[in-house]
Amino acid sequence: MEAVDEDLVNGDHLTFTVERTLSAPKEGGEFFDLDPDTGVLRRNTNQPLDYDQGYHKFLFLMRATDTTGNFCQGTLTVNIQDLNDEKPEFEPLPSDSVNVTENVPVGSIIATVKAVDRDENSNITYAFLKPQALFGLDQKRGTITVLEPLDSVSTKHVRVYPLEIEARDDGNIHTASYTLIVFVEDVNDQPVCDPSFSTGTGISVSVPETFPAAPAVYTVLARDPDPGEEIEFSIISSSANTTTYFALDSANGGIYRKAEAALDYEADPKHFRMVVAAKEKEKASPGSCTGTITISIQNENDEAPVFRNSSVIHITILEDLPFGTSVARLVAVDRDIGDRVYYEFVGSYRGFAIDSDTGEITTTYRLDYEDLTFPHKTALEIRAFDNDRLHSSTVLLIITLQDVNDNPPFCTQDLYIIEVPETIAIGTRLYTLECGDRDGTPPNNVLTFTLDDYSNNFFTLAGKEIKVGPQHLNCDSDLFAAMQFKHILMIQVSDGGEPPQTRTIRVIVKVTRTNEIDPHTGTNIFRVLENSSIGTVVGRVAFTDEDWPFNNLKHTLVGDGAGHPPKFYIEPDTGIIKVLNMLDRESESQYFLWVKAIDLDNDIEPDPVRQRSSIAMVTVYILNVNDEPPVCRPPYYSKPIYSTIKTPILQLNCSDKDSPPHQLSYTIVGGNTHSRFKLQRLGSGLPSLMTTQNFQYDVFRGIQDPTTFQLLIEVADELHGSLAHRLSTTATVILHVVPWKTTRPSTTTKTTTTAATTSVLIQTLYYWHPENWFPVVLTIAAALLLMCLYMAVWGCFKE
């Protein structure tokens, strides 16, 4: 320990002491002491500081004190280093030995040795001092295992095995040795069988069905490891019928087929199974091993094919069979499972072939009974053989050829083409067929002719003759046009043989078209409004042309029925009549048009000279349209009247080109002050203007009624009651009323007594009467004046 005192007076001497030990495994004073003068820490004993006993670190609290008592202190740590100074020591096993049985499995641990080292963290390794073949030693764990089987009766090994084992610490500085004795004990070993026999499903053996009885099918391999021990074999269990065909030799383990039971793959079971045990002989509790033997029977070709039919077969076939026709099929069977049967001719035969796989016999060409080079009866010998031709058998097939009616009729032609017009007469002969049959004897050469059902409507077959009828050959049909105007006759020619032979003859009859029918139409009446625009469709003249192509017509207007200038025109292709000029019903109410229709292309070769035509009358009615307003004659009336008049004043004379007089309406629409006038109409006649009452006049108080009335009378038509299309006009009637005080005017009267003339003076007073516009202007001016006064007053009050 080092300490310095800077005091000059009292710092010349320091005393060092250990105040206390802060940390130590044991009391620190037992191992160290401190020089009080120098502060040096020394060991004070020879007792070793054993790290392995826990002496790892010492911690001291130390103090330096001067003569006046002043001090300083601090801590000192002493660390002890660990040294490898210990040797390993084995922990002995009881009796230093271990006992094991000779049948201990390879790899088993029979003992574990352990050595300890007091040096901490020391790793010990183990090893045999002498090499060992039977035992192994784990150098880390010290486990001893068996490397090979321990057979105590084997001459290769002994019963006692001393194992010298060495333990080493880290760096191999210190070692220790130990001897462990292994004693191997003898046990009774079980019989050992062939592993392929005693494990899994056992042994599988295949033998042919012809396997003999002498040799062994299989021999079970088994032994007893113990010397001098014998083994016997027995069947523990077996599948059905196994012991019927096979036996086991109890002494040598051989399995044999019994001589009295032959194997047949096609009849017997194909697989046999037995469980066999190998036991120690003559022991109360014998050891044993068991295994399974499966015997499979292999098929052998040991059977010959056998035909299902008899040895001789007779068949009859017809002549003229097509090439490749099957005439017979022979079947042979072979009891050998999986064995195929093949077929062949024994020799060569003309006209026939046999399929080697199926046994089917077919013709190689068309057989003809009339062929003198071919026999009518043929004998075929057929052989059936199995694989590799080991076994075979034969059968005889006799084929008889039968004559048939095999020659069909023939004609000079198979196709006839005839062309006739559609106007040909019914019953006309078209053609006579020329046919025959190569079969020279009846009934094979007796021919009959049959016409197909469809052609029976238009043609008749009388023997060999083709005639027209019972129906005409009419080309005017869409269906016949789709057939290109052709009739295809199918005529079947049959002979009288059995079965009958036939031939079909086609006769194509081309029918040429003839233009034979005029176009015709019905009644054509059309109606059109008089205000119709140019181009308006009036109607279509529907002509019908029954010559094909139907209604292929050209239309024209003939004559002067369309008016001057023409009011109508017709479309040539469609026959549609349209408006050409403006119409006026009031001028012409109906037209009579003559339409000519000419057929086109109705002959197979168009001929303008032979075109057919017809003319039809078309009536066109012009329908009235309200397009004329009423007209009054005169449109202006002026008449003076007396104020006391009671009779009709005048009668209006108005008319309308569109409407009859009774369809005109009359209404006073203006000037009828105080409703002094009315219209009176009796029935459908013209209306008259009348007064409704006496006029009111007073000379002294002023006149109450005006003296002049300007009446506006509206005259409106009401064609068909359509208010939306009404037309009207206005008639003006001015009446000058002459006021009267009496109910009748005064007249001049002559008397015979005085011979003087008395007359009444009529004074006409005229008053100013404003026009109709004047009250309106006056009213508007007054309203504006009032408004200006109101604005002026409002402005004054606001200020």
- 309-319 tens-digit pLDDT: 777 889 998 87
> Are 616 and 678 in a shared domain?
no
Residue 21 clears pLDDT 80, i.e. is over it = no
Going by pLDDT thresholds of 50, 70 and 90, the confidence category of residue 553 is: confident
pLDDT value for 14: 82
pLDDT value for 74: 84
> Are 641 and 692 in a shared domain?
yes
Alpha carbon of 11 to those of 1, 65, 158: distances in Å? 16, 10, 88
Residue 266 clears pLDDT 60, i.e. is over it = yes
pLDDT value for 352: 93
Note whether residue 774 is domain-resident: no
Q: CA-CA distance, 159 to 153, in Å (whole number)? A: 9
Note whether residue 781 is domain-resident: no
Going by pLDDT thresholds of 50, 70 and 90, the confidence category of residue 763 is: very low
Residue 578 clears pLDDT 50, i.e. is over it = yes
Closest CA to 368 of 330, 318, 417, 415: 318
Neighbouring CB atoms inside 10 A of 227's CB total 6
Residue 753 clears pLDDT 60, i.e. is over it = no
Note whether residue 743 is domain-resident: no
- The pLDDT of 732-761, averaged and rounded, is 53
Q: Compute φ and ψ for 571, nearest 5 degrees.
A: -80, 130
pLDDT value for 24: 64
Note whether residue 697 is domain-resident: yes
Using the 3D structure, point to which of 477, 492, 512 is the last residue of a domain: 512
- The pLDDT of 116-139, averaged and rounded, is 85
**Identity of residue 634:** P
- The pLDDT of 691-715, averaged and rounded, is 75
Residue 406 clears pLDDT 70, i.e. is over it = yes
Taking the alpha carbons of 387, 392, 395, 399 in that order, is the dihedral positive or negative? positive
pLDDT value for 766: 38
DSSP E strand stretches across 121-270:
125-128, 135-137, 143-146, 160-168, 175-185, 192-193, 203-208, 216-219, 222-223, 231-238, 246-248, 254-257
Alpha carbon of 35 to those of 16, 28, 214, 620: distances in Å? 7, 15, 112, 163
Note whether residue 790 is domain-resident: no
Host domain of residue 576: 524-623
> Are 358 and 426 in a shared domain?
no
- The pLDDT of 182-203, averaged and rounded, is 85
Q: Compute φ and ψ for 783, nearest 5 degrees.
A: -65, -40
> Are 198 and 282 in a shared domain?
yes
> Are 111 and 175 in a shared domain?
yes
Closest CA to 220 of 250, 240, 258, 182: 250
> Are 673 and 699 in a shared domain?
yes
Using the 3D structure, point to which of 694, 723, 738 is the last residue of a domain: 738
Mean pLDDT in the chain? 82
Note whether residue 4 is domain-resident: no
Q: Could you report the per-residue pLDDT of 363-402, keeping only the tens digit for each? A: 998 888 777 788 889 999 989 898 878 888 889 999 998 8
Q: Could you report the per-residue pLDDT of 254-264, keeping only the tens digit for each? A: 999 988 888 88
Residue 698 clears pLDDT 70, i.e. is over it = no
Cα dihedral: 312, 318, 321, 327 (round 10): -20
> Are 635 and 734 in a shared domain?
yes
> Are 200 and 276 in a shared domain?
yes
Q: Could you report the per-residue pLDDT of 638-660, keeping only the tens digit for each? A: 889 888 888 888 888 898 887 78
Number of domains in the chain: 7
> Are 37 and 73 in a shared domain?
yes
Which residues make Cβ contacts (< 8 Å) with residue 784, sequence separation at least 6?
Answer: none
Note whether residue 546 is domain-resident: yes
Using the 3D structure, point to which of 738, 754, 786 is the last residue of a domain: 738
Q: Could you report the per-residue pLDDT of 42-61, keeping only the tens digit for each? A: 877 777 777 766 677 888 78
- Check which CATH number belongs to the domain holding 611 and give it: 2.60.40.60
Going by pLDDT thresholds of 50, 70 and 90, the confidence category of residue 749 is: very low
- Which tokens hold the place of 607? 């001929």
